[in-house]
Structure formats: C-alpha cells, structure tokens
C-alpha cells in the first residue's frame, strides 16, 4: 500500500464486498486490486443491531492472506467493543462502530484507538450529526449512512445530502482532519451529489459488483477524479 492511501482527505472508492459473489470472492477482490482500488469495505452484521447477518472473522482472516488492500471494517454490531481486538487480529486496518450501538461510545472509540487501527464512527439516517459532535476530535472518519443499514442495493435517502454538507462545514470550521465516508445507494447519479456535498470516502456495493467490476470501477473513479485536485 502506498503511504498516501490512508492519509486523511484522500478520495477513495471503497467497494463493499457485501455485494460480491461469495463463490468467487478471492477472484473478485483481485480484480478490484488490479483495477487500482486501495480500500475494501467490509460489512459485518450481527442480526441484532441490524436485521440481517453477514459474515465475520474467518472470512476477513482468509481474504487478508491474499490482499494488501486497506481493510475498512464497518461493524453493524451491538456493543462492538466486545470484538475490537478480534477484528484487529484478523486484519482490520480501520474499524467503524455505530454511535447508536455503544453504551459508552467514547470508551469504544478509545479501545479502537489503543488497538492501533484507524477509528471510525457511524450514524444511521435518523441520527443527527449533533449526536457525534463531541467525538469528532477522537475519530479519523465519520461514516454517514445514506440508507438504513442492513442490506445492499437500497435507494439513497435524499435528505442525507444536507447531513454530509453540515458535517463538512463543521470539519472545515473546526479545522479537523476527519474523513467523511458515505455508504448506501451510491451509483453514477448519486456519486456526484455526495462528492459535491463533501464526502471523500465512497462506499459502493451493487454499483461496483453488478455487471463488469473493472468497468464499474473505471466509471466511478473517473467521476471521482473530477472532484479531486490533481496536484493535491
């Protein structure tokens, strides 16, 4: 991995393997890597915080052996503090927890920080930015859910655009180095919208994995390039 790939402020496409063909997971991850993708978004669902169950440590551990990508683990898990060390041990480079899922959010974020990986906090569509304003100094990124977490392939919730802009303003005003990640319903129509609002880390599941992965990645990165300063 290049040194710059996880510095704050960089624009990254973060394909979500929730939409992968699990029968060909390794091969599809290799295709992403060859297409120049640096971040891999890994959705862990526990059937409690969200209705569905996805996958956990064994899957992450085995793809870690074959991939050098930055593993961005999104925990849709109740009281995720119970599992931070497990996810670090199986290869996470970043761990994001939901504000709504933690009894003591500050403590959970501190656990992630102490484990040496990047720290992310996420909010569901119904949770206001205000609810996490007190932890902005303690995180590397905020993940704004642009659909209700639980399933891939849902429609982008239009009201979330305003939330992204609101957070971008706070980050600029307070001169924080915090990335804004968006997740859910990103496609060729909504991608320009979230970039314009101020998101820089873009999760995409069905957009990347439905159809030809290489050409989908090419299209998404071409759109993103319009929003990135080439001399940055």
- Residues near ligand DX5 (CB under 6 A): 16, 18-19, 41, 43, 74, 147, 149-154, 183-186, 203-207
Binding partner of 153, given Zn ion, ligand DX5, none, CB within 5-8 angstroms per partner class: ligand DX5
CB atoms within 10 A of CB 172: 10
- Which lies closer to ligand DX5 via its Cβ, residue 140 or residue 183? 183
Task: Select from Zn ion, ligand DX5, none the partner in contact with residue 26, using the beta carbon and a kind-dependent cut-off of 5 to 8 Å.
Answer: none
Total of chain residues touching Zn ion, rule CB under 5 A = 3
The C-alpha atoms of residue 37 and residue 72 are separated, in whole angstroms, by 13
- Rounded to whole angstroms, the Cα distance separating 232 from 77 reads 36
Q: Candidates 72, 140, 179, 183: give the one binding Zn ion (CB under 5 A).
A: 183
Q: How far is the CB of 130 from Zn ion (least distance, A)?
A: 22
Question: Cβ of residue 54: shortest distance to ligand DX5, in angstroms?
Answer: 9
For strands 141-145 and 118-123, give the pairing: parallel
3-state secondary structure of 74: strand
Report the nearest approach of ligand DX5 to the CB of residue 157 (Å): 11
Whether residue 183 lies in the annotated active site: yes
Cβ–Cβ contacts within 10 Å for residue 23, how many? 7
Contact by Cβ (8 Å): 80, 101: yes
- 38 scored as a contact of Zn ion (CB under 5 A): no
Q: Which residues lie below 8 Å from residue 112, measured CB to CB, with a gap of 6+?
A: 84, 95, 97, 119, 120
114 noted as active-site residue: no
Q: Is 111 left (phi over 0), alpha (psi -120 to 50) or beta?
A: alpha
Which one of the spans 44-52, 77-85, 181-189, 217-225 is the region binding Zn ion (CB under 5 A)?
181-189
Nearest-approach distance from CB 156 to ligand DX5, in angstroms: 8
Q: Considering only residues 37, 42, 49, 74, which one is a binding residue for Zn ion as defined by CB under 5 A?
A: 74
Which of residues 83 and 207 has its CB atom nearest to ligand DX5 in the complex? 207
Q: 203: closest CA among 153, 162, 167?
A: 153
93 contacts which partner out of ligand DX5, Zn ion, none, CB within 5 to 8 A by kind? none
182-92-180 Cα angle (round to 5): 20
- The residue annotated as part of the active site, out of 4, 5, 43, 86, is 43
Which residues are catalytically annotated? 43, 183
């Amino acid at each position: 991995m290049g040194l710059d790939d996880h510095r704050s402020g960089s624009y990254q496409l973060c394909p979500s393997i929730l939409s992968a063909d699990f029968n060909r997971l390794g091969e599809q991850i290799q295709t992403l890597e060859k297409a120049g993708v640096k971040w891999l978004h890994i959705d862990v669902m526990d059937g409690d915080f969200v209705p569905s169950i996805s996958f956990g440590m064994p899957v992450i551990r085995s793809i870690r052996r074959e991939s050098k990508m930055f593993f961005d683990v999104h925990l849709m898990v109740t009281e995720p503090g119970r599992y931070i060390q497990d996810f670090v041990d199986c290869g996470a480079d970043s761990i994001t927890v939901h504000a709504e899922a933690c009894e003591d959010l500050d403590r959970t974020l501190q656990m992630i920080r102490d484990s040496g990986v990047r720290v992310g906090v996420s909010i569901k569509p119904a949770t206001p930015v205000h609810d996490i304003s007190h932890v902005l100094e303690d995180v590397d990124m905020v993940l704004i859910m642009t659909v209700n977490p639980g399933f891939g392939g849902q429609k982008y919730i239009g009201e979330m655009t305003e939330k992204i802009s609101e957070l971008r303003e706070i980050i600029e005003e307070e001169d924080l180095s915090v990335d804004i990640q968006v997740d859910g319903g990103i496609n060729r129509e909504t991608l320009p919208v979230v970039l314009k609002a101020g998101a820089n880390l873009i999760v995409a599941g069905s957009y990347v994995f439905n159809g030809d992965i290489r050409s989908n990645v090419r299209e998404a990165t071409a759109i993103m390039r319009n929003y990135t300063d080439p001399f940055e």
